[in-house]
Amino acid sequence: MGVFDETKCDCCVCPMQCVLEQLVEETIFIQTVVSEDEVVITGVKDFIVSSDIGNFPICQITQMFIEDPTNTLITRVLSALKPIKNSKEECACCEDPMTNLLKFEIGNTFEIEFIGPNVPFTDEILGVGEGIVIGVAFEDGFTFLDIFSSCAITRTTPVTQQQINDPDRPSRRNTPPPA
C-alpha cells in the first residue's frame, strides 16, 4: 500500500484491503454502518471490494465474519495483518487507542461492540494489527472468524469475572506498556 500522509487510509483502509485480498473467492458476511450482506468476494482493488452482489468501499466496512473458516484461511488472514505503528491526526485518537489496548489481550475473550446493525460479538482475540482486530467465536456448533476495523469498535468488555478483576491484566495497567 502507498503512503497517504497519515490519514484514515493508513490506519483502517489499507490494512483492511490487505486482509480482504486474502478473502477473494471466499463467502463472507460484510457489515457496514447500515447493512449486513453475505457475499462472495470477486476482487479487491483501489479501496473497493467487488462481490457477487455489488461493490463496497472499504472505508465503510466495520466488521466481517466467515462461518467455519479453515485453518489455512485463518493463517492467511492473520499473516496479512500490518505492524502496529503510532499514527497522527484522526488515526491517533480513533484507531491507535483501541489497537494498542487490544494488542495486549490476545488470547482473552471479549464482548466487542462496533458500529453496525448486528452487535455485539463475543470473541477470543487471535491477532491485532494496524487498524484490525481478528477474533474467533464459537456459537451453536459453528466457528466464526471475525475481522473488526479498530476504528469502528465502540466498546470492549472482558467476558469473565477473573479477567475483569485481574489487576495485572495488560489493559488495566496504570503505566504505559513497553514500546
Query: Cell numbers 457489515 correspond to what residue?
Result: 31
Could you tell me the residue range of the domain that residue 55 belongs to?
8-172
Cell (9 digits) for 137: 467465536
pLDDT tier at 2 (50, 70, 90 boundaries)? Answer: very low
In a domain, 178, yes or no: no
Task: Give the full edge-to-edge strand order of the sheet including 54-57.
Answer: 54-57, 48-51, 36-45, 27-32, 61-67, 142-149, 132-139, 121-129, 109-114, 153-158
In a domain, 1, yes or no: no
In a domain, 55, yes or no: yes
What residues have CB less than 8 Å from 53, skipping those under 6 apart? 37, 39
- pLDDT score for 8: 59
Residue 95 has pLDDT above 90, yes or no: no
In a domain, 179, yes or no: no
In a domain, 177, yes or no: no
Which of 26-30, 127-131, 175-179 shows the lowest per-residue confidence on average (mean pLDDT)?
Answer: 175-179
In a domain, 107, yes or no: yes
Question: Helix H segments across the chain?
Answer: 8, 14-21, 71-79, 89-102, 161-165
Number of domains in the chain: 1
* Residue 76 CA neighbour count, 13 Å, CB half: 13
In a domain, 2, yes or no: no
φ, ψ of residue 51 in degrees (nearest 5):
-145, 175
In a domain, 3, yes or no: no
Q: What is the mean pLDDT of the chain?
A: 86
Give the Cα-Cα-Cα angle 47, 82, 62 (nearest 5 degrees). Answer: 50
